[in-house]
């Protein structure tokens, strides 16, 4: 038996018979298209009306919920019952209930019984009786159905021009109005010899524009990201039954400019990677740096989280993590750490902040409660900033911002009553961990665990990663036993050593030290990659002359470039300023033979108090050479 015709309408919920666990809801119907969204997630989809009807008849689309247009509000109930009384009395007392001759006297007596000051006319009551009988005595059909005008005001050609005008003139990113569409239509009328008496009024054009799918209009005007966010309802709440059951992690661009502590020159805005416990709303991990979101900063905040209990702060190993769905989480490093610690990783959907509502709300609280009160704040937008010059007012270093943020979190945020829980985060946390202490690991183990993993070959007791060599005598022994490949764990913030997982015992690691400690001590991967770029620009003769000192020489040049006024023209180097190694005396000793042969004039730098930029006895020349 063929299914009855279905009229799709907003609010209709359905599934596909092969994917019954996914429910969709129709959001808009118009222009022979249906826009529907996934109930969980809110992703928008489109389908032709004819295609939808065909799939429904074939049984591919299954109805879950159909909104009834005849459902009435409580204010209409009394009116429905009044009409029903007239109808049922007429059907019970009159032999011909729709007779216009019998109804006047009946209406008069019935209105007297009901004390009805506005009784219906005979024709109205006859229509009520007819609708009631026709629709199987459904009293809801007594509610008047407005059919509206079914005829066209203008010829078909006029509506074609109108629709084309709306598409070409109004549905564009630029600001356009109904007046622009009307001007377009007038031009077309004059070109095609159509009488201007058929020109629709601006109000008519506005009504046609109002019938457009608001999702399509917003997508064209403001972009798909804004449209998706606007026409998607907030998702279901993330339920966390106890502390550390669910932790949200996200990265925020802080509204403050930090300065270089040595020169007081502005470096830019830092990033805060943060973890919050959903149950207690306590902050369980932070990491502030100049680096944008990456696997490096993600592992840093996890390392802080799983070691905090030994310092007396909220934290530990969580059951579930809800990270941001950025590129920094699409790597094997985070997956490996979660697998080792038995943490369930639940990535949020792209552009879905309601999957992480608590951490997003904390960032707003931090911004308004602390950052906007510090010198050098950028405020939330140019209008709020006004004439305030953030760069000139900046005076806090990155370490000072870290200190203020930690103090504010521990002394103010954790001890303030949260609007959602009605208690302070630290009290909820304390009550939860009173009987069951959170699991954690010490900093040594965390430092080994929270690293990215790569596979490398053993060659002469060494492994090579990103052009750097690491040695261990045990590696040579492993190679002699026939084990040519090993798994290496790397900390991108410190390249001075790596750890190798022992292939004979996966629970044991081998430390392999860098073969060039003077260069790699305190060196980050970002700095190393920048040094390698400069090394490639050296001529072959220079590289042969420098030999093993080439990396050290280019690192030294990078230090000077970052601290010089060249930084103003190369803001990408600013994050390196606070990440450069501090063993400058060692570098000076290594490069001293090269310096003795350099006789060029030094250059004065504007940001330095001294006439030349020095590291020990070293100086930088005008063209950047030693």
Q: What is the DSSP string of 247-259?
A: EEEEEEE-SB-EE
How distant is the alpha carbon of residue 17 from its chain centre?
32
How distant is the alpha carbon of residue 534 from its chain centre?
35
State residue 292's pLDDT score: 84
State residue 603's pLDDT score: 32
d(CA 222, CA 115): 57
State residue 225's pLDDT score: 73
State residue 261's pLDDT score: 84
d(CA 590, CA 552): 8
CA atoms within 13 Å, Cβ hemisphere of 47: 17
- What 3-state class would DSSP assign to 591? helix
Q: 517: how many CB neighbours lie within 10 A of its CB?
A: 13
Long-range contacts, stretch 495-499, CB < 8 angstroms, 24+ apart: 495/468, 495/520, 495/523, 495/524, 495/525, 495/528, 496/520, 496/521, 496/522, 496/523, 497/470, 498/451, 498/463, 498/465, 498/470, 499/448, 499/451
How is domain 246-432 classified at the CATH fold level? Nucleotidyltransferase; domain 5 (3.30.420)
State residue 614's pLDDT score: 39
State residue 315's pLDDT score: 95
Q: What is the mean pLDDT of each run of 10 residues along the chain (626 residues)?
A: 62 83 84 83 83 86 71 60 85 87 91 89 89 64 56 82 92 91 92 90 92 88 80 66 91 92 85 94 94 85 94 93 64 82 77 71 94 92 87 92 95 93 93 87 91 92 92 91 92 91 88 88 82 67 57 60 51 57 53 52 38 39 41
State residue 625's pLDDT score: 42
d(CA 115, CA 133): 26
State residue 624's pLDDT score: 40
Q: What element of type H or E holds 219? A: helix 214-222
**For the whole model, what pTM was predicted?**
0.62
d(CA 469, CA 497): 10
State residue 283's pLDDT score: 97
- In 481-551 the beta strands, taken as DSSP E runs, fall at 485-490, 497-501, 509-514
Kind of pairing between the strands at 19-30 and 33-38:
antiparallel
Q: What element of type H or E holds 554? A: helix 550-563
CATH 1.10.3470 fits 156-230, yes or no: no
- What 3-state class would DSSP assign to 122? helix
Q: What is the total residue count of the chain?
A: 626
Class of domain 451-515: mainly beta
DSSP one-letter code for 410:
I
Radius of gyration of the CA atoms of the chain, in A:
36
State residue 249's pLDDT score: 92
Please give the C-alpha separations between residue 31 and each of 28, 46, 161, in angstroms, as whole numbers: 10, 12, 16
State residue 609's pLDDT score: 40
d(CA 43, CA 613): 56
State residue 558's pLDDT score: 59
State residue 291's pLDDT score: 85
In terms of Cβ atoms closer than 10 Å to its own Cβ (0-12, 13-18, 19+), residue 614 is middle
Kind of pairing between the strands at 320-322 and 344-345:
parallel
Domain segments of the chain: what residues? 13-65, 74-142, 156-230, 246-432, 451-515, 525-619
Please give the C-alpha separations between residue 180 and each of 189, 206, 208, 283, in angstroms, as whole numbers: 14, 11, 14, 53
Please give the C-alpha separations between residue 182 and each of 186, 212, 417, in angstroms, as whole numbers: 6, 17, 57
Please give the C-alpha separations between residue 66 and each of 7, 10, 12, 24, 69, in angstroms, as whole numbers: 10, 9, 5, 12, 9
DSSP one-letter code for 263:
T
Please give the C-alpha separations between residue 202 and each of 166, 177, 182, 208, 392, in angstroms, as whole numbers: 12, 10, 7, 10, 52
Tokens of 19: 């994917």
Q: Are 156-230 and 246-432 the same fold in CATH?
A: no
d(CA 259, CA 83): 78
Please give the C-alpha separations between residue 416 and each of 207, 288, 420, 432, in angstroms, as whole numbers: 51, 23, 12, 17
d(CA 510, CA 475): 8
């Amino acid at each position: 038996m063929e299914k009855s015709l279905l009229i799709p309408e907003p609010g209709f919920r359905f599934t596909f018979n092969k994917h019954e666990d996914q429910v969709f809801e129709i959001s808009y119907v118009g222009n022979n298209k249906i826009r529907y969204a996934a109930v969980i997630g809110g992703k928008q989809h489109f389908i032709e009306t004819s295609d939808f009807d065909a799939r429904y008849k074939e049984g591919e689309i299954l109805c879950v919920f159909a909104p009834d247009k005849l459902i009435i509000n409580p204010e209409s109930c009394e009116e429905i019952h009044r009409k029903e009384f007239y109808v049922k009395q007429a059907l019970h007392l009159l032999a011909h209930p729709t007779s216009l001759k019998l109804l006047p006297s009946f209406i008069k007596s019935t209105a007297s019984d009901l004390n009805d000051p506005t009784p219906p006319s005979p024709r109205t009551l006859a229509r009520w009786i007819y609708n009631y009988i026709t629709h199987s005595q459904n009293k809801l059909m007594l509610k008047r159905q407005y059919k509206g005008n079914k005829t066209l005001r203008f010829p078909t050609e006029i509506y074609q021009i109108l629709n084309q005008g709306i598409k070409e003139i109004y549905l564009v990113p630029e600001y356009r109005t109904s007046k622009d569409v009307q001007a377009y239509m007038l031009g077309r009328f004059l070109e095609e010899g159509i009488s201007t008496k058929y020109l629709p009024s601006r109000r008519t054009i506005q009504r046609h524009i109002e019938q457009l799918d608001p999702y399509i209009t917003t997508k064209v005007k403001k972009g798909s990201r804004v449209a998706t966010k606007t026409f998607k309802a907030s998702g279901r709440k993330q339920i966390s039954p106890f502390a550390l059951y669910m932790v949200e992690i996200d990265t925020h661009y802080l509204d403050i400019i930090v300065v270089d502590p040595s020169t007081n020159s502005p470096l830019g805005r830092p990033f805060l990677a943060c973890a919050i416990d959903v149950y207690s709303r306590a902050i369980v991990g932070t990491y502030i740096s100049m680096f944008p979101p990456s696997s490096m900063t993600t592992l840093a905040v996890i390392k802080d989280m799983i070691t905090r209990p030994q310092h007396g702060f909220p934290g530990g190993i969580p059951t579930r993590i809800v990270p941001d769905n950025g590129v920094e989480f699409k790597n094997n490093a985070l997956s490996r750490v979660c697998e080792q610690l038995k943490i369930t990783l639940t990535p949020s959907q792209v552009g879905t902040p309601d999957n992480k509502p608590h951490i997003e709300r904390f960032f707003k609280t931090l911004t308004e409660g602390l950052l906007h009160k510090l010198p050098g704040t950028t405020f939330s937008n140019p209008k709020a900033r006004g004439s305030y010059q953030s760069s000139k007012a900046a005076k806090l270093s990155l370490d000072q911002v870290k200190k203020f943020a930690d103090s504010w979190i521990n002394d103010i945020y954790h001890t303030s009553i949260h609007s959602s829980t009605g208690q302070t985060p630290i009290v909820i946390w304390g009550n939860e961990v009173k009987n069951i202490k959170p699991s954690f690991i010490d900093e040594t183990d965390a430092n080994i665990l929270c690293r990215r993993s790569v596979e490398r070959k053993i060659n002469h007791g060494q492994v090579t990663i990103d052009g750097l060599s690491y040695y261990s005598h045990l590696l040579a022994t492993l190679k002699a036993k026939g084990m040519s490949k090993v798994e290496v764990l790397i900390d991108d913030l410190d390249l001075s050593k790596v750890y190798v997982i022992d292939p004979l015992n996966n629970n044991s690691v081998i430390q392999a030290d860098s073969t060039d400690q003077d260069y790699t001590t305190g060196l980050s991967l970002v700095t190393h990659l920048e040094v390698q770029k400069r090394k490639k620009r050296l001529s072959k003769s220079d590289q042969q002359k420098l030999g093993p000192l080439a990396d050290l020489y280019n690192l030294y040049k990078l230090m000077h470039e970052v601290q010089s006024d060249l930084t103003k023209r190369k803001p990408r180097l600013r994050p390196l300023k606070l990440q450069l190694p501090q063993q400058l005396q060692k570098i000076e000793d290594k490069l001293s033979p090269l310096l003795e042969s350099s006789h060029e004039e030094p250059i004065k730098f504007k940001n330095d108090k001294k006439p030349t930029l020095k590291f020990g006895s070293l100086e930088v020349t005008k063209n950047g050479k030693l």
